[in-house]
Structure 1
Amino acid sequence: MEQDRKPATISSASEADWRSLQHQEFVEQIDLLIRTAHMIRTALNNSFAQLEINEVRYAALKVIDAIRESGCSQSELARKLGQSESNICTLIERMESDRLVIRQQSQKDRRKRVLQVTAEGAQILERVKEYHGTVSQRLLAALSQDQRRQLTGMLQTLLKAAQIQRTQRETVRTVSDSPAPYALRDVPAA
């Protein structure tokens, strides 16, 4: 009977075991989040492909359209998408040749050029939003309204933590330091 009792203090060995279990739980949670994001991305990309657009172009159109009043600079777009300015430059050149966006002189600062969504880009953006909404609704239908609210809060918190970690360079290894075969940031935009 005495063996069933738990000690009042945790030994350093059992604390290490607890930390290891906690570490494993964190890893499993992030892995689950990554797998879920991959499945969602696949579902959305299948919808986007029907409209001959990809998620990077969709995200760019969405950002540019959202700040059309003041105009979106390439550097601002790069920051909002978490991409390098050289990748964004390539993306914008391709999107310009496909008549989705144009570069114009800023009305507020004549020295700057800003991006604007063209009529054709706006049309595609609206169609993609419809597809996106349908797929999103189907995927999130498994959750109650309260669960969706909680999910939004948790994801916003995780995103903020990831952004802070990225800006402070607190990651264990950055992609440039890593021998991993897959680049995780500054992926060339299409």
Structure 2
Amino acid sequence: MEQESSTKFDAMSGPADWRSLQHHESVEQIDLLIRTAHLIRVALNQSFSQLEINEVRYSALKVIDSVTEAGCSQSELARKLGQSESNICTLIERMEGDQLVIRRQSQKDRRKRVLEVTEQGAQLLERVKTFHGIVSQRLLASLSADQRRQLNGMLQSLLKTAHIQRSQRETVKTFPDTDGPFPFQGTPAA
């Protein structure tokens, strides 16, 4: 009976009741991942706050800085950060006001404007990377080099799957609205 229930869940053919999923190994693993990610985020945000920057601004600076050749458009930044273009527009306006980024005309396409990290933004990014590195080393200190490589591979696989599901909106298709504790309605949160 348990084998049949597990097979139904694995095949994603529609579990009969959300309560049967509560103790499923996959649910427990994702819950553990979420709790771990939350604690890591808290540790990083504490170090970021010392530099008067938040996680979103750090991520934006990092993406913009990595796209150096043609410049980074706001739509590309929104896509890479998994945010709406309107949210990114507001973020960029604020970061521009704080002199962390500038918008300039694209050299490849004069109709477009691209984002560029300012000297002040680049200096801040380097300081944040240093803090981030220290916190990251402390958090991963209990793992061997082999465990770190394995973790990296597993996280890359999980991230790829999450991106695919998000782009295909399988979450909504797979789990129709239910009477469970977390009914899916409309588009999943970003």
TM-score (norm 2): 0.83
Instruction: List alignment gaps of at least 5 residues for structure 1.
Output: 1-12, 186-190
Identity %: 73
Aligned residue runs from structure 1 range 1-190, under 5 A: 13-16=1-4, 18-19=6-7, 24-171=24-171, 172=175, 177-178=184-185, 184-185=189-190
State the alpha-carbon separation in 2 of the partners of residues 128 and 36 from structure 1. Answer: 21
1:21, distance to aligned residue in structure 2 (A): 7.6
> What is the root-mean-square deviation of aligned Cα atoms in Å?
2.3
Q: Note closer, same or farther for the CA distance 1:51–1:173 as it changes in structure 2 (3 Å cut).
A: farther
Q: What is the rounded CA distance, in whole Å, between the counterparts of 1:66 and 1:132 in structure 2? A: 17
Q: Which has the higher contact order (CA 8 A, sep 6+)?
A: 1
Amino acid at match of 2:95: M
Bigger radius of gyration: 1
Q: How many aligned positions are there?
A: 170
Cα distance change on mapping 1:173 and 1:89 into 2, 3 Å: farther
Deviation at 1:14, TM superposition (A): 3.6
What's the TM-score once normalised by structure 1's chain length?
0.83
The Cα of 1:36 is off from its aligned counterpart by 0.3
- Contact 2:21–2:27, Cα closer than 8 Å, also in 1: no
- Give the drift of 1:70: 1.2
- The gaps in structure 2 that reach 5 residues or longer are 8-19
